[in-house]
Amino acid sequence: MVKSHALRLWLAQRITGALMAIYALMVGSVLYVQHPTEYGTWKALFSTGWMRAATLVFVLSLVWHAWLGMHDILIDYVKPALAHRILKNLVVLSLAVYAVWSMRILWSI
């Protein structure tokens, strides 16, 4: 495995970014081909197993990626320790909520 902690985070940001890029290309092509502009077709798309699995990977990648990215941004712009801690916790909390929320959307269709 990759030894350094910082390097692992760096790698994680690239891999999650690449996974999201693949998802975007995949879903973009499907939308382009299928034109799911009615409720029935739209719902059918998100009911397929592969779409749910892919969206799950996307959501998990996004949460991890956004956490790493927002962390970098906060380090650069928010220096006061207390404000930094509060914002960091807010980011983690909101991302956790978004992850659970996404799963509930995906599995309540």
Partner 1 sequence: MNQARNLNRKDKQRPKNLDLRTVRLPVPALVSILHRASGAVLFLLLPVLLLGLQCSLNSAEHFAHIKEVAAQPFVKLLLLGVVWAFSHHFFAGLRHIAMDFQWGMELTTARLTAKLVLALGLLVTLLIGTALW
Nearest residue to ligand HEM, scored by beta-carbon proximity: 69
From 26, 44, 51, 69, residue interacting with ligand HEM (rule: CB under 6 A) = 69
First to last CA, the chain: 39
Asked if residue 62 binds ligand HEM (CB under 6 A), the reply is yes
Nearer to ligand HEM, 73 or 109 (CB): 73
Asked if residue 18 binds partner 1 (CB under 8 A), the reply is yes
Question: What token pair was written down for 55?
Answer: 């969206």
Number of Cβ within a 10 Å radius of residue 74: 17
C-alpha 4/C-alpha 59 separation (Å) is 26
Helices (H), the chain: 5-34, 39-47, 49-77, 81-106
CA-nearest of 27, 76, 86 to 55 is 27
Nearer to ligand HEM, 72 or 97 (CB): 72
Residues from 70 through 99 that contact partner 1 (CB under 8 A): 70, 73, 91, 94, 98
Using CB under 8 A, list all residues that contact partner 1.
14, 17-18, 21, 24, 38-40, 42-43, 46, 66, 69-70, 73, 91, 94, 98, 101-102, 105, 109
